C-alpha cells in the first residue's frame, strides 16, 4: 500500500492537511481577499464585528480580518522557509556525518550536541537582538520586508537543524551497510553519487515527517519572538506582533488577541496532526 493510500485512510491527517492548505491558500490570496491591513479608521477603534469589519478592528481601527490574513502570509512563509532551510542543512550534515564516519562524524555530532545543549529561547533572543545595521548593509535593504522575514528565517534555522541531522545520520548508518550501497561502492561510484542516489531516497521519508512536525514549532518560535518585539516588526503584520498589539486592550477587547491566538493554535495543531499522519503512512511496518 502506498503512502497516499495510507493517508486516504487516515481522516484526522486528511482534515489537518486540508486545513493547512486552506490557510496557505487564504494567505496567498490575502492581497485580493482583504484590503490594506495598515488602513487606519480612528473613528472605529476596537469596533465590534460588522459587515465592514467581519472580525472587528484593533486599537488603531485597522481591520482584524485583513491583518490576520496578511499576518498569516508572514508567519506561514517564515515557518515554511525555515523548515526547508533547516531540513536541507540537517540532511546535508547528517549524510556527511553518517557516510564519512571517523573524525568527520565525531566533529559534526559534537557540534550538533553543542547546539542542542544551548537554551533555545534565550539564544534566539540574543541572536534576534543583534543590530544588523552593524553589518554595513544598505538602509533600504534593512527596512525591506524581504530582509525582515529572511532575518528571522536564518536565525531560527541556525539552531533548528539538529534533530534532522541526528535522524539522517542514524538512517544513513543503517542504509550504507546494505548490499546495494556496497555494490555501488564496489563498481567505483563516488561518495557524492552514493549519498545522493543510493542513500538519500531511503532517508527522505523520515526527513519529510520531521520537517512537517517542525513547522508548528517554528510558528510558535516566530510568534514568541514577534511577541517580545524581536521578530517581525510593525507595520508588517504577523500573528505574533498582532498579539503584542492586543496586550493593552486585552480586558476591554479580548477578541483582538483571540483571533491571532486561535490562528496560531489551529495551525500548530494541524501541523502536528499532519506530521503524525505522515509518520504513520511512511512507517514500513504498517
Here the CATH number for the domain that contains residue 175 is: 1.10.3720.10
Q: Which three cell numbers stand for residue 73?
A: 502570509
By residue range, what is the domain housing residue 268? Answer: 3-29+56-282
Residue 84, domain member (yes or no): yes
Backbone φ and ψ for 57, nearest 5 degrees, come out as: -125, 165
Backbone φ and ψ for 284, nearest 5 degrees, come out as: -65, -20
Note the pLDDT of residue 53.
80
Cα 210 to Cα 164: distance, rounded to the nearest angstrom: 7
Total of domains in the chain:
1
Q: Is the pLDDT at 73 greater than 70, yes or no?
A: yes
Residue 34, domain member (yes or no): no
Q: What is the pLDDT of residues 19-67, one digit of tens each?
A: 999 999 998 888 888 777 777 777 778 777 888 788 888 877 788 888 8
Q: Which three cell numbers stand for residue 71?
A: 499576518
CA nearest 65: which of 23, 33, 32, 19?
A: 33
Residue 269, domain member (yes or no): yes
Q: Is the pLDDT at 85 greater than 90, yes or no?
A: yes
Q: What is the pLDDT of residues 99-124, one digit of tens each?
A: 888 899 999 999 999 988 888 888 88
Residue 45, domain member (yes or no): no
Residue 48, domain member (yes or no): no
Cα 168 to Cα 166: distance, rounded to the nearest angstrom: 6
Residue 39, domain member (yes or no): no
Residue 25, domain member (yes or no): yes
Residue 145, domain member (yes or no): yes
CA nearest 110: which of 97, 124, 123, 122?
A: 97
If DSSP codes are grouped into helix, strand and coil, which group holds residue 57?
strand
Amino acid at each position: 500500500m502506498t503512502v497516499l493510500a495510507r493517508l486516504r485512510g487516515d481522516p484526522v491527517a486528511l482534515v489537518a492537511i486540508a486545513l493547512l492548505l486552506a490557510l496557505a491558500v487564504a494567505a496567498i490570496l490575502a492581497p485580493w481577499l482583504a484590503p490594506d491591513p495598515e488602513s487606519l479608521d480612528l473613528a472605529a477603534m476596537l469596533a465590534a464585528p460588522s459587515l465592514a469589519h467581519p472580525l472587528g478592528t484593533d486599537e488603531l481601527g485597522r481591520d482584524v480580518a485583513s491583518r490576520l490574513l496578511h499576518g498569516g502570509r508572514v508567519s506561514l512563509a517564515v515557518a515554511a522557509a525555515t523548515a526547508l532551510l533547516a531540513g536541507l542543512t540537517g540532511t546535508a550534515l547528517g549524510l556527511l556525518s553518517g557516510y564519512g564516519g571517523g573524525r568527520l562524524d565525531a566533529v559534526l555530532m559534537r557540534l550538533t550536541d553543542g547546539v542542542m545543549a544551548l537554551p533555545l529561547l534565550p539564544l534566539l533572543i540574543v541572536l534576534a537582538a543583534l543590530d544588523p545595521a552593524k553589518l554595513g548593509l544598505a538602509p533600504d535593504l534593512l527596512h525591506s520586508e524581504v530582509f525582515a522575514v529572511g532575518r528571522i528565517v536564518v536565525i531560527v534555522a541556525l539552531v533548528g537543524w539538529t534533530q534532522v541531522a541526528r535522524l539522517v545520520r542514524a538512517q544513513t548508518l543503517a542504509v550504507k551497510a546494505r548490499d546495494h550501497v556496497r555494490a555501488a561502492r564496489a563498481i567505483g561510484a563516488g561518495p557524492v553519487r552514493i549519498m545522493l542516489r543510493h542513500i538519500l531516497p531511503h532517508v527522505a521519508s523520515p526527513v519529510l515527517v520531521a520537517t512537517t512536525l517542525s513547522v508548528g514549532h517554528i510558528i510558535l518560535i516566530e510568534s514568541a519572538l514577534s511577541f517580545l518585539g524581536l521578530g517581525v516588526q510593525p507595520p508588517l503584520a504577523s500573528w505574533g506582533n498582532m498579539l503584542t498589539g492586543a496586550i493593552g486592550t486585552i480586558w476591554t477587547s479580548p477578541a483582538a488577541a483571540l483571533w491571532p491566538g486561535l490562528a496560531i493554535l489551529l495551525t500548530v495543531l494541524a501541523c502536528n496532526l499532519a506530521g503524525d499522519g505522515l509518520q504513520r503512512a511512511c512507517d514500513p511496518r504498517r
